[in-house]
């Protein structure tokens, strides 16, 4: 296995989290990630060894998502959200609590604007530096910090109310 594929495999959990933050749906996120991986493998010659593969891949995931949103708009296709509570069964009490907390965070993230959700996913969830995230999103760093501040405040308010 080549170094490119090895490094790409180690990025899969981070890329899936980012795709999930963008798509808001696990199935859509998996589809988005598959499209992005296919695009990256076809364009691997465009990636410069020695540069950050994670930033390159996240940009591809984001661009694939933008393409999908545009396509959905054109087709006027609507996705029905998954049923809440479908996965709850005979789990231990603490795991149920953790799932409820994760659900509250996911619900709060989904209620953020697209711009706020993107910056929070990149900076707070994936740990990208402000400069890297701003470059990836092609926005000024001041805009990124503004969106991040407003997004954090909105998340805190929604989670307090939950």
CA distance 15 to 59: 10
Q: Note whether residue 35 is domain-resident.
A: yes
CATH number at residue 142: 1.10.10.10
First to last CA, the chain: 47
Mean pLDDT, rounded, for 21-48: 92
Mean pLDDT, rounded, for 3-30: 91
Q: What angle do CA 69, 13, 38 make, to 5 degrees?
A: 55
Q: Note whether residue 85 is domain-resident.
A: no
pLDDT tens-digit profile of 126-138? Answer: 889 999 999 999 9
- Please answer whether residues 23 and 32 qualify as being in contact, where contact means their C-beta atoms are separated by less than 8 angstroms: yes
Q: Domain residues for 96?
A: 92-162
User: In angstroms, how far apart are the furthest CA atoms of the chain?
Assistant: 49
3-state secondary structure at position 118: helix
The pLDDT mean for the chain works out to 84
Question: Which residue, 102, 84, 134, is CA-closest to 21?
Answer: 102
Last residue of a domain, one of 24, 45, 80: 80
Same domain, 7 and 72: yes
Q: Note whether residue 56 is domain-resident.
A: yes
Mean pLDDT, rounded, for 28-54: 91
CA distance 133 to 127: 9
What is the sign, positive or negative, of the torsion defined by CA atoms of 8, 106, 25, 56? negative
Q: Note whether residue 87 is domain-resident.
A: no
pLDDT tens-digit profile of 71-129? Answer: 877 765 444 455 545 555 545 667 777 777 777 778 888 888 989 989 998 998 888 99
């Amino acid at each position: 296995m080549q170094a490119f594929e090895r490094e790409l495999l180690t990025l899969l959990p981070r890329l899936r989290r980012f795709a999930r933050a963008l798509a808001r749906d696990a199935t859509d996120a998996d589809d988005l990630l598959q499209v992005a991986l296919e695009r990256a493998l076809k364009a691997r010659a465009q990636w410069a060894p020695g540069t950050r593969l994670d930033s390159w891949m996240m940009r591809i995931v984001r661009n694939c998502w933008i393409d999908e949103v545009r396509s959905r708009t054109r087709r006027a296709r609507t996705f029905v959200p998954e049923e809440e509570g479908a996965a709850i069964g005979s789990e231990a009490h603490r795991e149920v609590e953790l799932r409820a907390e994760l659900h509250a965070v996911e619900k709060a993230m989904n209620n953020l604007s697209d711009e706020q959700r993107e910056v929070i996913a990149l900076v707070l969830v994936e740990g990208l530096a402000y400069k890297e995230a701003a470059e990836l999103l092609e926005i000024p760093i001041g805009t990124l910090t503004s969106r991040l501040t407003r997004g954090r405040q909105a998340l805190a308010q929604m989670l307090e109310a939950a």
